[in-house]
Amino acid sequence: MSTASASPQDSVGYRLEPRVARAFARFSGGFWADEGATRAWLLTLGLFVLLLLSTAATIAMNHWNRWFFDSLESRDVGALGRAVLIFAIIIVSMASIGVGIVFTRETLQVRWREWIVARMLDRWLSAQRFHRLSASGKEPQNPEYRIADDTRWATEPLVDLGIGLVLAVVNAAAFIAILWTVGGSYTLRLGDEQAITIPAYLVVVALAYGILASWLMLKVGAALPGCVARRNEAEGHFRFGMMRLRDNAESVALLAGGPGERRILARSYDRVVDCWLAIVRQHARLTWITNASGPMIPIVPLLFAAPKYISGDLTLGQVTQLAAAFVQVQIAISWLVDHYGKIAEWYASARRVMEIVEACDEFPAGPAAEQLAPDHDAGEASMQPSKLTDSPVWRIGPHTIRRGEWVQLNGDSSTGKSTLVRQLCGLNADTAGIPEMASGSPGREPMVLPQRVYLPPGSLCDVLAYPAASPPASDPRLRSALAQTGLGALVSRLEDTARWDALLSLGERQRLGVARVLITAPDALIIDDALSALDEAAQRNLLEAIRRAVPSITVLYLSRHPACTDHFDLVLPLAPGALRPAP
């Protein structure tokens, strides 16, 4: 990959857009209006008060400088002694205020990010959006990175920027007043009889100098947000590549795929390097201005105040006070420029956060019902989920499955069994949703047992109870379920935390999936080829365990080949193309 691919010219879509800032403000602003808003406002107002106190302490130090240097110039020993005492008081006050600002600021950052992450997880995980986004192709890249990391970079810098902006505005007002009152006006004589009086001339100089430097910085650094956004995307791709390798470590090792993975990761990191180099070039351009204007800031006020000091209109203490005030005004005026890189970082992360929020909002929380219609031309069984008011029902051709019935549906991998399961669960990318399926207990949905059982991180108790909250290890249901599914050896490890998805074989994972069924006792169960890794005797034992534990359960068993057919009330073949979405 060439460096041109990461050039700022390619980042037009990532320039600063007010729309993104407004959208992020609407979303994240709920922190101050939602539950817990009282704490949010107390932290915010407390931080604001501390910032005002910080400015007051800085102004006090500015006046102390004038007092100290005037006392030094007049050799007033008594005044110098008092100045040292006052200096100690000011320093202690500034340190105390600083501690309060750090504590309040960081607490606000942590709590705000906590609120945003919680709301993003709610959006992403509700209504199966985490799957529907992926299946639809509308999922923003690396959603896990956006939720885990971009939320941090979209909140922490923003709090710091807000603090800086408040201080910039307050300091600008306070120290411009000092330049105005202490500096006074300046009379420029053009001849014996002609003169021009410039009122508040140091204010004019400070504003002109700050505005010029800021304009140059904004002009030169306009492409920086795009560079930062591309860098964040590239970093996310590289991390995802390593996660993918770790998740497929065994398959890669069996294929001796280390060199191939090295080439893939090297290409991915080349993009990261190119994006970083684009940022380096932007920083180099900005450094021309910062290094040229920065050293001049403390010198410029001395040069402009020198004529009035020489003429006796200003004392040495006043000159030092004006110089310090000039520096503070420049810091305030150049706040946007000095923090342009941080603003670009924040914007890139805020944009990535809002992309996943807006993508989730495109999928309604209550998906619309859409059914599979029978294809009468297929000549084979077709399936259409339908609604009843009192029990779950599937129609298979002319057959109706009522509560407590067991049906086996057999077909090759091309017949659409997995598509049917996704349709029943509202996960099909081609359809909007799930047919409402009533059961004996209102609101309960069919439980699905997939071929590859998902085992979340946590203790074995957590794994068995998933997705419900984990019961204590002493719960007899856990021990009984493990014993009935042939996993009795794991009873002693119920409280152990491990990578169970890596420790257990596919057959053991499928047994554990059945143990979940025994613990959950659902009204209806869809088994999606979930016993394929076991021999027929083991399958029989597990099916019998389900029937004993949940006698009234309704079972839809999908498999590639007929198995244990004597356990089912109805066994139907399924030909390719027999299932299709309704028009």
pLDDT at position 38, please?
93
Chain CA centroid to CA 33, Å: 20
DSSP state of 183: I
Contacts of residue 438, defined as CB under 8 A and 6 or more positions apart, other chains included, come to 387, 388, 389, 390, 391, 392
Q: What is the CATH code of the structural domain delimited by 372-581?
A: 3.40.50.300
From first to last of its 583 residues, the chain has per-residue pLDDT tens of 333 333 333 343 455 678 888 999 999 999 999 888 999 999 999 999 999 999 899 888 888 888 888 888 888 888 888 888 999 999 999 999 999 999 999 999 999 999 999 999 988 888 778 877 877 778 887 788 788 888 998 899 889 988 988 888 888 888 888 888 888 887 777 766 677 778 888 888 888 887 887 788 777 777 777 787 788 778 878 888 888 788 777 778 877 888 888 888 888 899 899 989 988 988 888 888 777 777 777 788 888 888 888 888 888 888 888 888 888 888 777 777 677 778 877 888 888 899 889 888 888 765 433 333 333 333 333 344 443 334 545 555 566 777 888 888 887 766 667 777 776 665 654 443 333 332 333 345 678 888 888 888 888 998 888 888 778 878 888 999 999 999 999 999 988 888 888 888 889 999 999 999 999 888 888 888 888 888 889 999 999 999 999 988 888 888 887 888 888 888 888 765 554 433 3
Q: Which residue has the tokens 């929020």?
A: 357
Buried b / exposed e over 329-361, threshold 16 CB at 10 Å, is bbbbbbbebbbbbbbbbbbbbbbbbbbbbebbe
pLDDT at 5: 39
CATH architecture label of 17-186+200-361: Up-down Bundle (1.20)
Which residue stretches of 437-490 are H helix?
Answer: 460-465, 476-484
Pairing of strands 372-374, 579-581: antiparallel
- CB 228, CB 348: distance < 8 Å: yes
Same CATH fold assignment for domains 17-186+200-361 and 372-581: no
Identify the residue whose tokens are 């302490």: 57
- pTM listed for this prediction: 0.65
Domain spans of the chain? 17-186+200-361, 372-581
